[in-house]
Structure 1
Amino acid sequence: MAAPLTRPAETPPPQPAPPTKRPARAAGYPGARRGQRRAVALFTVPFFALFTAVTVLPMLYAAWMSLFREESSGLGFGGTERAFAGFGNFTEALGNEAFLRSFGHIAFYCVLYIPAMVGGALVLALLVDSAMARARRFFQIAYFLPHAVPGLIASLIWLYLYTPGLSPIIDVLDALGAHWNFFGQDEAIYSVVNISAWQWTGYNMIIFYAGLQAVPREVLEAATVDGSGALRTALQVKVPMIRPTVVLTLLFTCVGAIQLFDAPKLVQLRANTMGEDWSPTMFIYTAAFKGHDYGLAAASSLILALVAGLLSFVVTKLGNRWKAS
């Protein structure tokens, strides 16, 4: 029997060669470096342009104005002339008792305000972060709401609450036999501290709470296994691990305190013993817009900026030592 015929094997059609891939550009490739520089410039140039427009240029203009003073001639009937004063405005500011006294007021304000506000915010954050806390989101929003109110409006609200005959707080205090004059010579500063603490405690509580959320859970579990109670864990584990957050908050609080203006300005409307130059910013405002001495105001503002910079440096140094301890 003849063997069946076999069909010759068909040769497969030729396949096209796979496309060759271009080698990826290394990170050090000149084109890649130019692209990175363009990306960096795209994000940083707008910031530096805005920073120059709203910070650097006003400071340079203030430095220029501080070198001159307005002088009148002809018994005040001949108008005013701008005369070069050199560092005379700085000497006058540093020799002004009201200007120097305003820094003393702010120092006493910081002694009262910073422990109350930062300590209160830290305690609230620890309470919200504790295992026994319930309705955390509600309390976060409730504590933050005072900060959502603009500072001027908050000062007006408390000015109403401080006014006898209008304030329900004073009515309650009178009913309890506790008489307190919120606009008294010695009590007015406590009124200012209360306004600032009411506005900023909830804001800093949110910052501390965010820092506590970054504490590793296994560290807290290890502390619990070692027999550490809730209070000891909070003070010896949680607080040391958010030291950078606490230092940053202290830095911002000190810089903000030295620029205090709206709260004492409104309280001063009823507390006449405070004076229009109670804080450095109030002194600058009075010198510029009531005394029309723009050279003195410019020199005082530069001195205030220098003090704020030195204070920031000191707080940062002390905070770094605390973090390293």
Structure 2
Amino acid sequence: MSETTSGPASGPATDLAAGAAPAAVSAPAPDSGSGNGARGAPPPRAGGGRRGLGGFLAPYVFLTPALALFVAFLAIPVGYALYLSVQGLRIVDEGVFGTRSEVFVGFANYADILTDSTFWAGFGRMALYGVIGVPLTLGAALLFALLLDYGGARARRFSRAAIFLPYAVPGVIASLLWGFMYLPSTSPFSHVTEELGLGGIPFLDGGWIFPSLANIAVWGGIGFNMIIIYTALRGIPPELADAARIDGCSEWRLALRIKVPLVAPALVLTGLFSLIGTLQVYGEPTMLRPMTVEIDQTWVPLMYIYRDGFIRDDLPMAAAGSVVLAIGTLVLSLALLRVTQRRTFGGAQ
């Protein structure tokens, strides 16, 4: 019974199953492989070349508005300034008055500016202004940022807004406001000192003019720099401060030994902004000029350039002065980054 039912029946069934199973498993293998390959690398379709070209041009299409603005408002003006700087105004026609015309003079304008003592005197006054204003601005901004980052600080939002508010005041308006507070007839500070029998403070006379101008820049620049430093402080992991406090570190040592070194890149950035702002100082002395005899038309380099371009109507000389000032700004900025990069960025080149 077992031989007739199990033996012959199991043999052919087993052989058939054994023979059919490999066929069922192995037959779809080529189709499966080709199907996977088709999904991984689809065959090229009609119009694929055009789509590839569109993908290649897409970044440039998106960059076109920014590039157009860059060329229109930076590249072309810079190129035109370089062109004007090698031109000169000369009398070319005969007659009683003659006619002024632009002629090529090479580097004569640059030579005239670099040998003009008035131009370098303006640089000296600007440097003194920066020596007073930049350290005070960065020091006060760092102090306020550390106070706001202190764990027990109160009313942080109001304090941030109050400190940042002067930065939102236009420089011209700020200069006029401080100018009236400097005038002897309207100065509240001089009124207080006179009531105390100390006499008025000559804010706009003699050596007082430099700290008076620097004070305007400090008042307006603290808020912007404070926000940058405060943002960097908020990025410090709180675990570092907690570990330092557990080790017995005071808040003062925590700020000086841990927080300040960690926000050094932000300090370098604010220092760079302050340096560039100092080299471009113009609004403050220009607005205070009608109030004092200490400030003349060429008190700082930008006022010197303005005089050549809009009072003397000598645009080539003004363009040469602008190029010299731009190169000086670039050199000093690179020097600042070079000096600070070893300590701040670990010597990265």
For the aligned pair, the TM-score class normalised by the smaller chain equals: 0.7 to 0.9
Aligned pair in 2 of structure 1 residues 179, 79: CA closer, same or farther (>3 Å)?
same
Indicate the residue corresponding to 1:114 in structure 2: 134
Deviations 1:67-90 (A, max 9, x none): 111123668612312222111100
Deviations 1:115-162 (A, max 9, x none): 100010000100111012100000000001101111111111111111
What is the correspondence of 1:70-81 to structure 2 with a 5 Å cutoff? Answer: 70-72=89-91, 77-81=97-101
Partner of 2:290: helix, strand, or coil?
coil
Contact 2:88/2:104 (8 A) holds in 1: yes
Matches of 1:309 and 1:31 in 2, distance apart?
44
Query: Once the 2 structures are TM-superposed, how far is the Cα of residue 322 of structure 1 from its aligned partner?
Result: 2.2
TM-score (norm 2): 0.81
Query: Once the 2 structures are TM-superposed, how far is the Cα of residue 278 of structure 1 from its aligned partner?
Result: 1.0
Indicate the residue corresponding to 2:304 in structure 1: 283
Matches of 1:247 and 1:220 in 2, distance apart?
23
Partner of 2:205: helix, strand, or coil?
coil
Contact 1:25/1:32 (8 A) holds in 2: no
Contact 2:275/2:333 (8 A) holds in 1: yes
Indicate the residue corresponding to 1:263 in structure 2: 284
Q: Does 1:153 align with 2:178?
A: no
Which runs of no fewer than 5 residues in structure 1 stay unpaired? 1-19
Indicate the residue corresponding to 1:249 in structure 2: 270
What is the correspondence of 1:84-233 to structure 2 with a 5 Å cutoff? Answer: 84-176=104-196, 177-233=198-254
Aligned match for 1:45, one of 54, 59, 64: 64
Indicate the residue corresponding to 2:29 in structure 1: none
Partner of 2:297: helix, strand, or coil?
coil
Deviations 1:7-28 (A, max 9, x none): xxxxxxxxxxxxx9984789xx
Aligned pair in 2 of structure 1 residues 221, 160: CA closer, same or farther (>3 Å)?
same
Indicate the residue corresponding to 2:22 in structure 1: none
Deviations 1:45-74 (A, max 9, x none): 332322222111111101111111112366
Partner of 1:273: helix, strand, or coil?
coil
Matches of 1:171 and 1:139 in 2, distance apart?
29
Partner of 1:125: helix, strand, or coil?
helix
Contact 2:189/2:201 (8 A) holds in 1: no
Partner of 1:199: helix, strand, or coil?
helix
Aligned pair in 2 of structure 1 residues 23, 246: CA closer, same or farther (>3 Å)?
farther
Q: Does 1:66 align with 2:67?
A: no
Indicate the residue corresponding to 2:322 in structure 1: 301
Matches of 1:251 and 1:87 in 2, distance apart?
30
Deviations 1:249-291 (A, max 9, x none): 1111111110100001112222222211111111000111111
Matches of 1:36 and 1:213 in 2, distance apart?
41
Contact 2:306/2:318 (8 A) holds in 1: yes
Q: Which AA in structure 2 matches 1:47?
A: A
Matches of 2:64 and 2:237 in 1, distance apart?
37
Indicate the residue corresponding to 2:24 in structure 1: none
Matches of 1:24 and 1:173 in 2, distance apart?
84
Matches of 2:257 and 2:51 in 1, distance apart?
48
Contact 1:215/1:241 (8 A) holds in 2: yes
The percent identity for this pair of structures is: 35
Indicate the residue corresponding to 2:15 in structure 1: none
What is the correspondence of 1:304-323 to structure 2 with a 5 Å cutoff? Answer: 304-323=325-344
Indicate the residue corresponding to 1:234 in structure 2: 255
Contact 1:121/1:204 (8 A) holds in 2: yes
Partner of 2:151: helix, strand, or coil?
coil
Contact 1:212/1:242 (8 A) holds in 2: yes
- Greater shift in the superposed pair: 106-115 or 72-81: 72-81
Indicate the residue corresponding to 1:10 in structure 2: none
Contact 1:102/1:278 (8 A) holds in 2: yes
Q: Which AA in structure 2 matches 1:97?
A: S
Contact 1:155/1:263 (8 A) holds in 2: yes
Q: Which AA in structure 1 matches 2:87?
A: F
Deviations 1:272-325 (A, max 9, x none): 222111111110001111111111111000000000110110111122122128
Aligned pair in 2 of structure 1 residues 232, 93: CA closer, same or farther (>3 Å)?
same
Q: Which AA in structure 1 matches 2:89?
A: E
Q: Give RMSD over aligned pairs.
A: 2.5
Query: Once the 2 structures are TM-superposed, how far is the Cα of residue 37 of structure 1 from its aligned partner?
Result: 5.4
Matches of 1:306 and 1:173 in 2, distance apart?
45
Which runs of no fewer than 5 residues in structure 2 stay unpaired? 1-34, 43-48
TM-score (norm 1): 0.87
Query: Once the 2 structures are TM-superposed, how far is the Cα of residue 41 of structure 1 from its aligned partner?
Result: 3.2
Aligned pair in 2 of structure 1 residues 25, 201: CA closer, same or farther (>3 Å)?
farther
Contact 1:145/1:202 (8 A) holds in 2: yes
Matches of 2:41 and 2:61 in 1, distance apart?
22
